[in-house]
Structure 1
């Protein structure tokens, strides 16, 4: 089965995720409208700016359809701002900032600092074979705390900073695997979708 996986195309690294998904064996398409969301098997919420993404999702009438699909069990993967969008609770968000939710965790927005504090690190991820992945952190969040049903997949080496999680059909990383050319995380997500 070739899953159809959408990329929320309101803002952020849309083209990079579309390429990585296609390379990982999925049929990838951009999602900007509720009718496009309705026909995909799964969704990637890319990196970008989480407050802008939330406001655009609201303007395009996608916020509630996204919440419904997630509650119904649609697999979703969020990278960076996408992790924030999938979190149930945010620290450091702007007043009134909303999320799609689904992940029982608290995420801290811009936790690693500003743009100038961006960095790369090699992260070992539970369930991803082939050794550590190169992780690109750009104004990245981290996970402050997780609920009982959330599996921690990876932390920044030498720290307790959680940067990759999974809860059922939901996957999130605080970094940008779509920027490295390493498709193992996208392959992991495609396999999650196939198993669903």
Structure 2
């Protein structure tokens, strides 16, 4: 069975775990550096990116996260997770994990009270996915090898670069598990390639 980790430092961890299980994969809460070896792919959940970064540093996870990506293992960042994955951040001189070739701006859709839902068309995933936006970032720029999967109101909100996936919204907060299933399929494809090498 495919094993999907959820970085369990802060944020919507239990919701992602539930979605992974519904999709028929094994979910593992990643709480320390030794847990990375247990999983085939990793989800970085929504939450508060600054708080997450402090905890990543406290538990000495930054280098292992970067090594996980460098090894070609799939990673999926949602909302704050997208901020953590991005190579560039508007208004910041430094990145966090810095592996997804995009530039991200925080809080692009207003404050907590401005949270909303909207239906999206997502390339290769869904014609009508209900997305939940909570203090959501958006992608300002993408690198040449990045595939844009969804936009909203003229802004890029979901993108993929090979084994890396990021979105501005919270797919785990609905009963629609198609994006989780899409990521799990990315993990399966990566495992299949490794077997055939």
Tell me the TM-score range normalised by the shorter chain.
over 0.9
Q: State the partner residue of 2:81.
A: 82
- Please, which runs of 5 or more residues in structure 2 have no aligned partner? 191-197
**1:135 to 2:135 alignment:** no
Q: How far apart are 1:98 and its partner, in Å?
A: 3.9
Q: State the partner residue of 1:183.
A: 177
Give the TM-score, by structure 2 length: 0.93
- Please, which runs of 5 or more residues in structure 1 have no aligned partner? none
Q: State the partner residue of 1:48.
A: 47
Q: CA RMSD in A?
A: 1.1
Aligned partners of 2:122 and 2:89: how far apart in 1? Answer: 23
Task: Considering fraction of residues, name the structure with more helix.
Answer: 2
Q: State the partner residue of 1:152.
A: 148
> SS at 1:99's partner residue?
coil
Aligned partners of 1:109 and 1:56: how far apart in 2? Answer: 19
Q: How many correspondences in the alignment?
A: 190
Are the counterparts in 1 of residues 86 and 95 from structure 2 also a CA contact under 8 Å?
no
Alignment of 1:1-196 (within 5 A): 2-93=1-92, 98-129=95-126, 131-156=127-152, 159-196=153-190
Aligned partners of 1:180 and 1:109: how far apart in 2? Answer: 22
CA distances 1:156-187 after superposition (whole Å, capped 9, x unpaired): 1xx22100100000111100010011000000
Are the counterparts in 1 of residues 89 and 105 from structure 2 also a CA contact under 8 Å?
yes
Aligned partners of 1:56 and 1:98: how far apart in 2? Answer: 15
Give the TM-score, by structure 1 length: 0.94
Are the counterparts in 2 of residues 106 and 143 from structure 1 also a CA contact under 8 Å?
yes
Aligned partners of 2:95 and 2:32: how far apart in 1? Answer: 19
Are the counterparts in 2 of residues 92 and 109 from structure 1 also a CA contact under 8 Å?
no
Are the counterparts in 1 of residues 121 and 129 from structure 2 also a CA contact under 8 Å?
yes
**1:26–1:19 distance in 2 versus 1, CA, 3 Å:** same
